[in-house]
Every structure is written in structure tokens, then in C-alpha cells.
């Protein structure tokens, strides 16, 4: 029997249309009214765009992945090539490798031996980055520098996929810069908003995964239902997403509420009640050490 075609996910399409509309409002209308409001609006809509790119990576809203990718083509955050985001994130979804400083591209841990060889000033900077406040302030720079260093090394070794990812990024970047250049929003203000959007996303990624001997216990549940949960498209229910990566964002809360003990049993109770709890506990305190407590080369 032929498989029925998958339905179009209109909720995700509507969210994407709304995202672009709010972004355009922030770039073209609000700068003439009050620039700080324009910056915040662009910052939030750009962070939402990144969350929607994450949905596209996992096959939404269409069955055709090329069409999906076209929907999120503009590089609103400026510095994250979609193709590299896609490739590294799919590699991250090999759960057995989660938090591994060598095989998990999204790991925030370092190998213990590498940690001992870095300079004291860099150790202090990375320790700061392991507090939530540090992750918000310097995290986007640190993460991007390490990412660029790894991609440049891969390009020098002849990795054509990495090179192609950055090549495709150039027209997506130019498109956004041209739009901003002809808009009332100053370029410096857009750069500030783009950086702020990356900081917002660091709230989500700050403690998504923990070091644990069991791979199933490495992924968090944050039972938040507020604005940040919407901004992150319910990816705060992260173990649900890892267990059902093709489930669309708007079905994750229902899946969790149907049987929370199942997911908390899987991840060993790695749970926080809200992002407010996360801020209270870790704004100025590091949750984890920088060197991985379990892996060492």
C-alpha cells in the first residue's frame, strides 16, 4: 500500500510567516519610533528564526527538505551558516556521543588534557563562560571562535562539505546586510540585535546536556511554559525532542504531559521547573566544570 503523503504543518508555516513579519517590523518601522524597541524586536525574532531553522533541520514543515531549507535561507543571525548548523546538529543527535568533547559538535566540555595545556587567562575566561551570565555575555564570541577554528581546520584538510556550507552562507548573509543597509535601522544596531539573539539562544543550550555515564541521562527537561519556551519552540522539553526528533514543536508538550514519568525515568530525573529556577541557581555560578569529568584523551 502506498504511503499517504505527509500533511503540511500549517502551524509552523504560520509561525515562520509571523517571525519574518515581526523581523521586518523591527527593521523598517520601529527604528523610526524608538530604536531600543527595534533592537529588542529584531533580537527576539532572529532568535525565533534560529529555532525555526532547527525545526527545518528535523524535516518540518514540508516533506521536501529543499523547500524547507529555502524557507529559512536568510542568515538573520549573520554568523551561523544554515548548512553547518544542519550538519553539526544532526551529528549531535547521536545520543551515545552527547557531551563528548571530541565527537559531539555541540559539547561545551573540553578534554581534561587539553584543559591543562591552555593558558591561565583562557581557563578563567572559559570558567566565566560556564556561568549563565558569562554564557550570555561572552558565550556567542567563544562559541563562534571555537567553531570557526574547527571549520577552518576542516577546510584546510579538504573537507568540501564544510567549505560548501560557508559558500552557501555568503548570499544568505549578503541578502540580510543589503536589506538592513536600505532600512532605517543602523547597521551597528542590527549587529547588536544579532549578538543579542545568539545570547538568548545560549539560555536554551546552557544546560541542555550534562555529563553522565548513561547517555539517556544526559538530556534535560525544563518544565517551562512561558515566553522562553515559545521562543525555543518547546525545545526546553529536550529529552522528548531527542527521543522523538521528527515530532513537530507544537506536539512536544502534549507528548510530555501524557507521560512525564516515562521521560523523567529515561533521563534519570534531570529536570528543572522553569528557566527562572535556572537563572536563580546558575546566573553567577557554574553548573559544570569545563574539563569533562568522564572523558579524557
pLDDT for 168-222, tens place per residue? 999 999 999 999 999 999 999 999 999 999 999 999 999 999 999 999 999 999 9
Query: What pLDDT score was predicted for residue 147?
Result: 92
DSSP codes, 27-39: IIIGGGT-HHHHH
pTM over 0.75? The answer is yes
Query: What pLDDT score was predicted for residue 95?
Result: 86
Which residues make Cβ contacts (< 8 Å) with residue 65, sequence separation at least 6?
56, 59
Q: How do the pLDDT tens digits run along the chain, 297 residues long? A: 344 456 899 999 999 999 999 999 999 999 999 999 999 999 999 999 999 999 999 999 999 999 999 999 999 999 999 999 999 999 999 888 899 988 899 999 999 999 999 999 999 999 999 999 999 999 999 999 999 999 999 999 999 999 999 999 999 999 999 999 999 999 999 999 999 999 999 999 999 999 999 999 999 999 999 999 999 999 999 999 999 999 999 999 999 999 999 999 999 999 999 999 999 999 999 999 999 998 766
Q: Show the cell assigned to 6.
A: 505527509
Query: What pLDDT score was predicted for residue 1?
Result: 38
Query: What pLDDT score was predicted for residue 6?
Result: 67
Query: What pLDDT score was predicted for residue 5?
Result: 55
Helices (H), the chain: 10-24, 35-57, 65-71, 82-92, 112-117, 120-129, 132-137, 139-156, 160-181, 187-205, 227-231, 238-243, 252-258, 260-266, 275-282
Query: What pLDDT score was predicted for residue 3?
Result: 46
Amino acid at each position: 500500500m502506498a504511503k499517504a503523503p505527509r500533511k503540511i504543518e500549517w502551524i509552523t508555516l504560520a509561525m515562520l510567516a509571523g517571525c519574518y513579519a515581526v523581523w521586518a517590523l523591527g527593521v523598517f518601522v520601529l527604528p523610526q519610533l524608538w530604536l531600543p524597541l527595534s533592537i529588542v524586536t529584531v533580537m527576539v525574532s532572529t532568535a525565533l528564526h534560529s529555532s525555526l531553522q532547527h525545526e527545518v533541520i528535523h524535516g518540518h514543515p514540508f516533506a521536501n527538505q529543499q523547500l524547507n531549507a529555502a524557507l529559512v535561507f536568510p542568515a538573520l543571525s549573520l554568523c551561523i551558516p544554515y548548512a553547518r548548523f544542519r550538519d553539526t546538529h544532526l551529528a549531535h543527535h547521536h545520543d551515545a556521543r552527547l557531551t563528548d568533547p571530541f565527537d559531539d559538535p555541540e559539547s561545551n566540555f573540553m578534554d581534561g588534557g587539553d584543559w591543562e595545556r591552555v593558558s591561565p587567562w583562557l581557563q578563567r575566561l572559559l570558567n566565566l563562560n560556564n556561568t549563565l551570565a558569562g554564557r550570555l555575555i561572552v558565550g556567542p564570541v567563544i562559541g563562534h571562535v571555537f567553531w570557526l577554528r574547527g571549520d577552518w581546520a576542516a577546510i584546510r584538510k579538504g573537507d568540501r562539505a564544510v567549505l560548501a556550507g560557508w559558500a552557501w552562507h555568503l548570499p544568505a548573509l549578503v541578502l540580510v546586510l543589503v536589506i538592513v543597509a536600505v532600512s532605517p535601522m543602523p547597521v551597528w544596531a542590527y549587529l547588536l540585535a544579532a549578538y543579542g539573539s545568539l545570547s538568548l539562544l545560549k539560555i536554551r543550550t546552557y544546560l541542555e546536556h550534562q555529563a553522565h555515564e548513561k547517555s539517556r541521562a544526559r538530556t534535560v527537561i525544563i518544565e517551562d511554559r512561558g515566553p522562553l519556551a515559545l521562543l525555543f519552540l518547546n525545545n526546553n522539553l529536550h529529552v522528548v525532542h531527542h527521543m522523538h526528533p521528527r515530532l513537530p514543536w507544537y506536539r512536544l508538550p502534549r507528548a510530555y504531559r501524557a507521560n512525564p514519568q516515562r521521560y523523567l525515568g529515561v533521563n534519570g530525573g534531570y529536570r528543572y521547573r522553569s528557566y527562572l529556577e535556572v537563572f536563580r541557581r546558575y546566573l553567577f555560578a557554574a553548573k559544570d566544570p569545563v574539563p569533562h569529568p568522564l572523558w579524557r584523551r
